[in-house]
Amino acid sequence: MEHGTSEESIMSAGSGIHNASSSSELPTAAGSTSSDAPPSSPQATGKRSRFDWPVDENDKATVIKLWPWTIGRSKLRNPHARGFWCSWITFFVAFLGWFAFAPLMPEVRKHIGLCDSLTEDGSCVCGPSCQSTIQSSHICSIAGTILMRIASGYFLERFGPRRVNVAFLTLFSVPVFLSTLVANGPGLIATRFFIGFVGATFVTGQFWCTLLFAPNVVGTANATAAGWGNLGGGVTQFLMTGLFNGFVAAGLHEDTAWRVSMLVPATLYWIVAAVMWFGAQDTPNGTFHAAMLGKSKTSIYNYIECLSDYRIVLMIVHYAACFGTEITMYNQLPLYFFDHFGLSLSQASGAAAAFGLINTFARTLGGLLSDRCYRHYHIQGRLWAHFACILLEGLTLVMFGFMRSLGGAIAILCLFSIFVQMSEGTTYSIVPFMSYRNLGIVTAIVGAGGNVGAVAWGFIYKDNQSAPNVAYQVHGGAVMAIALTAFLIYWPHFGSMLHRPKEGLALPPGAGGRNTYGHAKTKPKGSPPARTPKTVIPPTVEADAQTDPASPRLSITGFNGSASWSTADGGMNGQQQLQQVVNGGPAAIGVGVLPEAPPPVVWKMPSVRSSQKLETIPETESQV
């Protein structure tokens, strides 16, 4: 490193200042972070971790283990696994109440007076008015989610994911309980609108996983949590019909049986909320606060800031094309198979469930694909994976609309479902990199975009009630057109699908890695200058207090530059700590080869955490 290296160059060397044997803690600015330091595990740094899983310098997990016995002995030992499991289970049970009406609709419409008439065998004759009411209820069940998902961005950055998740499950269990009292079409529409609020639990799960997992695995973590949560949409199809058939077999009247069935998901909401409240925490180190994102508070202007970024707007449209499509399928498929292929209630629900059950692996597959492309081609690789998945999703949906045989329809439906779920996984593998400072807001509005898409797609099916297969074809063509807009997404520091990133630009906070093109081992153009022997000069230490004595500005200066940080923490301030060092305290600051030949050391800048112990890290790859 040449003499006179800038402060920014020193900061890029790492993300935590370490010293050998000091037992004191150095206060750091809450929310400070290194923008381009690659994740490092405790094994790599020699630091002993108090967590069950390996973590990076910000205590974010660098691996994800999916087995249930990995949740650890306590929330302090493994907050990463517990947060992951709470994220997907919350969204899973949310689906059980959110879409409980869809598989039961053939029975519900008979007993609340929607049918134009009944046949001799008791089947419903559902005319235009009946179909319009049902489609309106489908649309409203999704429209309610839009409002709450948008608002959840503020709630998350204000209260943290655990509290918000518990509040959502507790409050929105009320309309699920009240759904047992529905007696007519307007009541059905209103109830489904308020039940739809629980769909905002998706946003809390994605935000939570981003706080817990490092950039190298955040795509897989987000995709798996959302995919296993979406699995609830498939399980709902046969769980609710199974409950209904069970209660009928137990002697309940059909009208009573479907109402009692609705009590099951509402009760599960309370059970999951209680377990999550006592068994998990927001971040690896406790409660979340907005300073961890580098800001003091969240306001309406953060929403405006995000919506003024065209890349975020495009990502909203893309999520409308994939998750909006999935939600639409949960509403449309049961009746489609029931009315057009002549299946029974249980058979139609089973065929529709095949679409949702693919969430078991497909969304995770999308996250894994995106993470693999990221390792080799950074964000450019994530964009290409995302584009391919959405394009194939639209193509297979068009094919589904042309299927006339039951076997062919189910086969194409399963293939279509794979690409839908993978597209969702690739979308939320990109979202954490868009604006880390507004992470909660971006996660919320992109998630809301999925529901906006579902509402838009719902009108296509409402306008083509006499020919629903045409609606599937139009829907698929629109998705393919949206896929092409992925070519427009560009960042100077990340590049785009067709352009490399500009060289020398620092990555924003939370991005991780480096803005290099190609494989991580790719060497930059040119060769590094030859190293020349240097005389080791003891570093000087300065501590210059600003106007506010509680927030000193500290500088560590050596022969190769300087680094600085600010602190407002109480207790021993940085100036006193440095004075201990100058006076021959428990640790000595130095760079290079010191007398008696101790190993070289690397000084790293403060991490995201509000305080960090000082320790020495042996240098591994480069000499300072």
135-149, 238-252, 405-419: least confident range: 135-149
CA atoms of 442 and 615, how far apart (whole Å): 36
List, for residues 451-480, the tens digit of each pLDDT value: 899 889 988 988 877 777 899 999 999 999
| pLDDT category of residue 509 using cuts at 50, 70 and 90 | low
Three-class SS state of 203: helix
User: What are the structural domains, with CATH classification, of the chain?
Assistant: 1-36+535-624 (no CATH), 68-496 (1.20.1250.20)
Look-up: residue for tokens 């950074």?
378
With a cut of 50, say whether residue 606 has pLDDT above it. no
- For 126, 138, 182, 185, 409, the CA distances from 188, given in Å and listed in that order, are 16, 10, 6, 5, 30
Print the SS3 string covering 112-150. Answer: CCCCCEECCCCCEECCHHHHHHHHHHHHHHHHHHHHHHH
Q: How far is CA 150 from CA 75, 300, 446, in A?
A: 29, 11, 9
pLDDT score of 300: 85
Q: CB atoms < 10 A from the CB of 205, how many?
A: 31
- Distance between CA atoms of residues 294 and 509, nearest Å: 9
What single DSSP character describes residue 51?
S
Task: Assess whether pLDDT exceeds 70 at residue 398.
Answer: yes
User: pLDDT: is 15 or 429 the higher one?
Assistant: 429
pLDDT on residue 48? 53
DSSP one-letter code for 358: G
319-348 in b/e burial notation, b at 16+ Cβ within 10 A? bbbbbbbbbbbbbbbbbbbbeebebebeeb
9 Rama sector, left if φ>0, alpha if ψ -120 to 50, beta otherwise: alpha
Enter the tokens of residue 379: 């964000």
CB crowding 14-52: b at 16 or more within 10 Å, else e: bbbbbbeebebebbbbbbbbbbbbbbbbbeebebeeebb
- Select from 242, 199, 204 the least CA-distant residue to 93: 199
User: How many C-beta atoms lie closer than 10 Å to residue 583's C-beta?
Assistant: 7
pLDDT digits (tens, 9 = 90+) for 478-506: 999 999 999 999 988 888 999 888 877 76
Summarize pLDDT for 323-359 with one digit per residue, the tens: 999 989 988 888 888 888 888 877 888 888 888 888 8
Alpha-carbon distance of 277 to 168, in angstroms, equals 12
The answer, yes or no, to whether residue 38 has pLDDT greater than 60, is no
The DSSP secondary structure of 323-347, one letter per residue, reads HHHHHHHHHHHHHHHHHHS---HHH
Query: Based on the number of CB atoms within 10 Å of its own CB, is 256 exposed (0-12), middle (13-18) or buried (19 or more)?
Result: middle
Average model confidence (pLDDT) across the chain? 77
Strand ranges in 19-58 using DSSP code E only, listed in sequence order: 25-27
pLDDT (mean) for 253-273: 95
Higher pLDDT, 307 or 568: 307
Residue 451's pLDDT is what? Answer: 87
CA 280 to the chain's CA centroid: 17
Distance CA 393, CA 427 (A): 13
pLDDT tens column, 71-129: 877 888 899 999 999 999 999 999 999 999 988 998 899 989 898 888 877 788 888 88
> What is the enclosing helix (H) or strand (E) of 557?
strand 553-558
Query: Is pLDDT at 556 greater than 70 in this prediction?
Result: no
Are 605 and 565 in contact, with CB atoms under 8 Å apart?
yes
Is 208:161 a contact under the CB 8 Å cutoff? Answer: yes
Dihedral, CA atoms, 617, 622, 623, 624, nearest 10 degrees? -80
In this structure, what are the phi and psi dihedrals at residue 450, rounded to the nearest 5 degrees? -60, -40
Rounded to an integer, the average pLDDT of 606-613 is 41
CA distance 452 to 435: 21
Q: Which of 136-140, 262-266, 290-294 has the lowest mean pLDDT?
A: 290-294
Token digits of residue 232:
């609830």
Residues 128/465, Cβ–Cβ less than 8 Å: yes
Quote the CA–CA distance of 453 and 316 in Å, as a whole number.
9
- 3-class secondary structure per residue, 246-278: HHHHCCCCHHHHHHHHCHHHHHHHHHHHHHHHH
Q: Where are the beta strands (DSSP E) in 428-497?
A: 490-491, 495-496
pLDDT in tens, 197-208: 999 999 999 999
User: Of 23-27, 143-147, 231-235, 278-282, where does mean pLDDT reach its minimum?
Assistant: 23-27
User: Phi, psi (5° rounding) for residue 213?
Assistant: -120, 145
Tokens 């309309």: give the residue.
175
